[in-house]
Copies of this chain bind each other. A is one copy, B any other.
Amino acid sequence: MDIASILGVIFCACIVIFGIIFGQENLLETLNHFYDPSSILITFGGSFMCVLTMSPDLRGFLNNIRSFSLILKVLPSTEEETIHTIIDLSNIARKEGLLALEEAANGIDDEFLKKGVLLIVDGTDPELVRSILETELNCIESRHSSTVGFWDSLAAMGPAWGMIGTLIGLINLLYEMDDPRAIGPNMAVALVTTFYGSVLANWISIPVATKLRANNTKEIMIKEVMVEGLLSIQAGENPRVIEEKLKSFLSPARRTAMKEEGGENVG
């Protein structure tokens, strides 16, 4: 589980609560100033209903909300592990022939890599293998970018509906200025929606969108390592050349680390 994102989300909440109550005498009453059900309805309700309008269907909307948990997901395998797997496969292919990969494919968890290996085993034309795998890569990317788009839309809608709520509060307030002592608290209630909208955008939506976008980049890169590796195996390239090729995807530091610990399982 990805500890950084959990810590970030929790600490942010603590900071906001601390910022609200710091230096105040009556803590509960102060916190209560920041809790206003009708403001919650306008800001959160308005934002979520608008992204519902944008959603392809109800299921897609619910899936996108649930995608929040993806920021806690750690990718199942790193670039290094993928490179190791591919070199192992290339050694098998070299020693026992392409058909021997069928058995090895059973041990592979990654569906994408497995599919690629089976395509090779079936003797599919290299051009077709590349085309099938790249189509799949594009479709993965397009699905991810639709999820990221959901959080981007939410990040835009939060402050917008916060402002609509504040405008509603302000307009109502301006008609009732008879009691000067009530203007302050009424104004405060009007501002609470703006506060909610900013928090929705900056505490949750923008970080989630950014994190998912970064995860997508990483996953696509690992899958590109797979495509390059699979095509090299199919072309019958030397395992050492394949290793050299795939290591270009690593940073120098990780390349050195990989060389030190993993030298022996490369034939």
Contacts and interface: CB of A to CB of B under 8 A. Distances in A.
Interface of A: 2-5, 7-9, 11-12, 15-16, 18-20, 22-24, 30, 33-34, 38, 41-42, 45-46, 49-58, 60-61, 71, 111, 119, 124, 128, 131-133, 135-136, 139, 142-143, 146, 149, 153, 156-157, 160-161, 163-165, 167-168, 170-172, 174-177, 181, 184-185, 187-188, 191-192, 194-195, 198-199, 201-203, 206-208, 210-211, 214-215, 217-218, 221, 228, 241, 244-245, 248-252
Nearest to A52: B8
A56 B2 CA distance: 8
B202 A172 contact: no
A175 B217 contact: no
A146 B251 CA distance: 13
Task: Determine chain A's interface SS by DSSP, over half rule.
Answer: helix
B248 A53 contact: no
Contacts of A199: 164
A1 B133 CA distance: 34
Given A132-B245, A168-B195, A54 B184 contact: no
Contact of A191 (B23, B174, B184): B174
B248 A214 contact: no
A134 to B, nearest CB: 8
Given A57-B2, A139-B250, A38 B52 contact: no
Contacts of A244: 119, 132
B203 A58 contact: no
Contacts of A211: 53-55
Given A54-B211, A203-B50, A19 B165 contact: yes
A191 B161 CA distance: 15
A250 to B, nearest CB: 7
